[in-house]
Structure 1
């Protein structure tokens, strides 16, 4: 069976199409399960919409959830529509986010670090002019946040855990043990990581994370799931078969998705 847990839609401000468009795309692409996981509002901000063009406004959140739940009912028997959300992780606001999410019947929550050291991980100039020592420091800060998100207990899935390489390909080669340490903590806290195929749309190409990280994830017993991170309906389920084949080659026997926050195991 095929599933895709990471999809967006027009509400976030930088994706195209309605939620229904993504559900219909899932059916066309042969999925049994599609998760809707648009960007959560910036709940820690005093503004209604802290980042227009990046995440939905606070007043849209309940409307978003209601729409997904209605589509879940409408498409029952055709495709299993799951209610998810992609949440930024801000340690200083973690409890606020937790309290808000507990009010809704999420099937899963993806925790993604998009801001590290106060700067977007997708900022194309953030690494310019840094020394080798400063590169190590930036990588350690990034993985430190991912470690905290794994320990928080808020998330079932961690999103694109090496996406900082999106516009800085040498990121993977920056020498530090923080990646291994983070994977060990993720495994100990029984959180899944996604193979996110949207890296192919960035300068780095390929998927998140790189094979070397997946090999270490297997070593630490980290479970994996699939997310296209589609921002256009055409990318739903993108590279599913290729990812499945590669995971088998690495040595994985299964991957997972979540329903009512309960792990569902799918053999590879």
Structure 2
């Protein structure tokens, strides 16, 4: 049974195609389940659309939900469409986001940290000129935010938990206990992490997270799921079979998806 829980579409401003395009791509690629999970609006902003090239407008949010629910009904029997969301996590605004999300029937919400220390995790220059101690500080601030997102109770899945390495491959080698501490917390709160294949589109190559993190996740009992993080329909389900095979090699026996926020277990 194939599933993909992390897909975007044109509302976010940096993806191509309609939601229907991604659902149809899921069918072509043999998926049984596809989750639609576009970027959440910046709900704490006074602007309707705070970041036009990054996230949808607040005024589009209800229309987004309604469209996914219509397609869920339309495609019933052909592919199971899930209502998801990729939500930014800002500790200072968590209650604002939580109050909005509670109004809608999400199957799951992916919590992703995209800003750390006020800088995009994808900023290609953020590690330029830093001392080794400063690099450790950046990494620990990032994982502190991920750990806080796990504790928040807002999410079923945490997204791309080492994506700060996207344009700085040595990120994985920065020494700190923060990764293990964060994985322990994720296990304690029984939240899944995704294997996100979009890392192959960045300078670092490969998936998020690296195998070493997946091995530690297995050690601590963290559950895993799959997300292509597709921003074009052609990437839906990208490298699903390879990820499945690698998880088996690492020692995982199952992975999960979510329906009405209830965990669905799929054997590997």
Partner residue in 2 for 1:46 = 46
Question: 5+ unaligned residues in a row in structure 1: which ranges?
Answer: none
Residue 42 (structure 1) shift:
0.3
Partner residue in 2 for 1:236 = 236
Residue 265 (structure 1) shift:
0.1
Secondary structure of the corresponding residue to residue 87 of structure 2: strand
1:136-155 map, 5 Å: 136-155=136-155
Partner residue in 1 for 2:210 = 210
| Corresponding pairs, count | 268
**Whole-Å separation in 2 of the counterparts to 1:11 and 1:82:** 17
**Whole-Å separation in 1 of the counterparts to 2:96 and 2:103:** 12
Partner residue in 1 for 2:197 = 197
Residue 73 (structure 1) shift:
0.2
Partner residue in 1 for 2:68 = 68
**Whole-Å separation in 2 of the counterparts to 1:9 and 1:214:** 28
Partner residue in 2 for 1:29 = 29
Residue 117 (structure 1) shift:
0.3
Partner residue in 2 for 1:254 = 254
**Whole-Å separation in 1 of the counterparts to 2:117 and 2:91:** 12
**Whole-Å separation in 2 of the counterparts to 1:43 and 1:91:** 13
Q: Say yes or no: does 1:104 pair with 2:86.
A: no
Which deviations, in whole Å up to 9, do the C-alpha atoms of 1:224-266 show, x marking residues without a partner? 0000000000000000000000000000000000000000000
Residue 4 (structure 1) shift:
0.1
RMSD: 0.3
Residue 128 (structure 1) shift:
0.2
Superposed structure 1 runs of 4+ greater than 4 Å apart: none
TM-score for the superposition, normalised by structure 1: 1.00
TM-score for the superposition, normalised by structure 2: 1.00
Secondary structure of the corresponding residue to residue 243 of structure 2: helix
Secondary structure of the corresponding residue to residue 108 of structure 1: coil
Partner residue in 1 for 2:12 = 12
Partner residue in 2 for 1:179 = 179
**Whole-Å separation in 1 of the counterparts to 2:122 and 2:205:** 14
Residue 15 (structure 1) shift:
0.2
**Whole-Å separation in 1 of the counterparts to 2:96 and 2:23:** 30
Question: 5+ unaligned residues in a row in structure 2: which ranges?
Answer: none
**Whole-Å separation in 2 of the counterparts to 1:166 and 1:262:** 31
Which deviations, in whole Å up to 9, do the C-alpha atoms of 1:133-175 show, x marking residues without a partner? 0000000000000000000000000000000000000000000
1:93-172 map, 5 Å: 93-172=93-172
